[in-house]
Copies of this chain bind each other. A is one copy, B any other.
């Protein structure tokens, strides 16, 4: 079984070697695929930082990924910033020849902010305000939240925008387009609708409000249709679809908002990206306009797949396969920002991985033509909601985990591959000619998810099955949007 996967991985790699994007100014194909790792200095005593960073460098990693969840460390009180700790860490990275990817910390607000400005939190469909302690629960349409975000990003951009060690920025974390029923969002939705439809008559027509006496006479009458209260089957599907679109647009706008701030401050050599989840159900990676490229995260084994006799410990190959095609567009097939390093702790079941699985995934990534493969996270910690989630290092901080060893092996093998790399190699014409594409449309994906003719309907596996079949013919497969140039696919 395992053999098939390896061959599959290798096969993709051969195909994609030549499909490679021509040199962007961020990545060079002469590096093939570089390796990075998430590191959280704030989790550890500062006395351990140098040891850890040196070890990361010694393992062959080329960059570290830091600061993504550390707002409280950078702004412990409103308006009082502290970057000394970050200076130290970036200094250590420089010393050990590691590059740095910086995360903007907007995935989690510091506790003082939510106490003084509770409006920064989103409201769920029960109109309950989100609370401190988790990530991704801010109201992206809220002006106070935007203002605080702007300030911290400006501080970071000014300080590190021309630091030679810093190669790029990751905005926020796993943006997912979370539904927000807060007053800020209600108002933003009305404005979004007005921009889209111009007249209320056009909205009435598009939403079919003639059905069930729903007709509006003014945009100000519109409240987000709340399927939780209005009732699932009876809720206007067009209104709900627009809410999904609005939510995806709002997510994209918040990312563009951050990118615009950074771009005005940082070097052209530093890239700006974000890390979508492999299956990005609510956030559409094509809706942003200011990012240099998209990256993604993938956790193929969360105990929900059972393929072959070891499938349970190998995980679901479809997720990564989908992501490698889905994010492969112009500048966007740059890299994977988080690749599962071992067991996780948030699946329904969290199996130990079959040895070789992480290395297999790394070769999948390589076969998928990625320029970098980064993983969450260097050290497993003995506290927090992810204390039972593996890292490259075990709990003692100095012993490689199973996944860590496989990373080490893959890094070594990449050096060997580099020597054999022939930039003149071409993909055979007969294979190239088989080029195919599958059409992806979020409107359809969202609509079918809501109005399947049976509750057993699940759109994604259906799509993935076609994708798998196309790939099984050895055909290069793209996932395209309807406004892409479709002429190149016979």
**Cβ of A221: which chain B residues have Cβ within 8 Å of it?**
111-112, 115
B105 adjacent to A229 (CB under 8 Å)? no
How many identical subunits does the complex contain?
3
Q: Which residues of chain B are within 8 angstroms of A303 by Cβ–Cβ distance? A: 454
Interface hits, A124-145 → B, CB 8 Å: 124, 126-128, 130-135
A65 to chain B, nearest CB (A): 16
**A 101-133 contacts with B by CB, 8 A:** 105, 108-112, 115, 124, 126-128, 130-133
Q: Flag if B112 contacts A211 (CB, 8 Å).
A: no
A473 within 8 A of B: no
Task: Check: A421 CB closer than 8 A to any chain B CB.
Answer: no
Verify B385–A69 contact, CB threshold 8 A.
Answer: no
Provide the bound-state CA to CA distance between A111 and B238, in Å.
17
Main SS of the interface on chain A? loop
How many whole Å from A224's CB to the nearest CB in chain B? 9
Contact B69 A212 (CB under 8 A): yes
A134 contacts B212, C-beta separation under 8 Å: yes
Q: Is A211's CB under 8 angstroms from B70's CB?
A: no
- Those of A245-269 within 8 Å (CB) of chain B: none
Judged by a CB distance under 8 angstroms, whether A456 is at the interface is yes
Q: Is the CB of B235 within 8 A of A349?
A: no
| Residues of B with C-beta under 8 A to A159 | none
From A234, which residue of chain B is reached at the shortest CB distance? B134
A454 contacts B348, CB within 8 Å? yes
Chain B residues with Cβ below 8 Å from A42 are 210
Chain B, Cβ-Cβ closest to A233: B346
How many angstroms between the C-alpha atoms of A235 and B346 in the bound complex?
A: 11
Q: How far is the CA of A239 from the CA of B108 in the complex (A)?
A: 17
> Do the beta carbons of B223 and A131 come within 8 Å of each other?
yes
The listed residue with most B CB atoms (<10 A of its CB), out of A115, A127, A384, is A384
Cβ of A217: which chain B residues have Cβ within 8 Å of it?
A: 76-77, 111-112
For A231, give the chain B residue with the smallest CB separation.
Answer: B134
Cβ contact within 8 Å between B212 and A135 = yes
A sample of 17 cross-chain residue pairs with beta-carbon separation below 8 angstroms, ordered by A number, consists of A76-B217, A77-B217, A105-B213, A110-B213, A112-B221, A127-B128, A133-B212, A133-B236, A134-B230, A207-B383, A211-B384, A211-B386, A234-B346, A235-B385, A345-B451, A348-B454, A388-B451
For the complex with contacts A109-B213, A134-B231, A388-B451, 11 further pairs of A-B residues with Cβ separation under 8 Å are A40-B210, A76-B215, A112-B217, A130-B229, A130-B230, A132-B214, A212-B384, A233-B346, A236-B384, A348-B455, A349-B453
Q: Footprint of B on A, CB under 8 Å?
A: 40, 42-43, 69-73, 76-77, 105, 108-112, 115, 124, 126-128, 130-135, 207-208, 210-217, 221, 223, 225-226, 229-231, 233-239, 303, 343, 345-346, 348-350, 381, 383-388, 451, 453-456
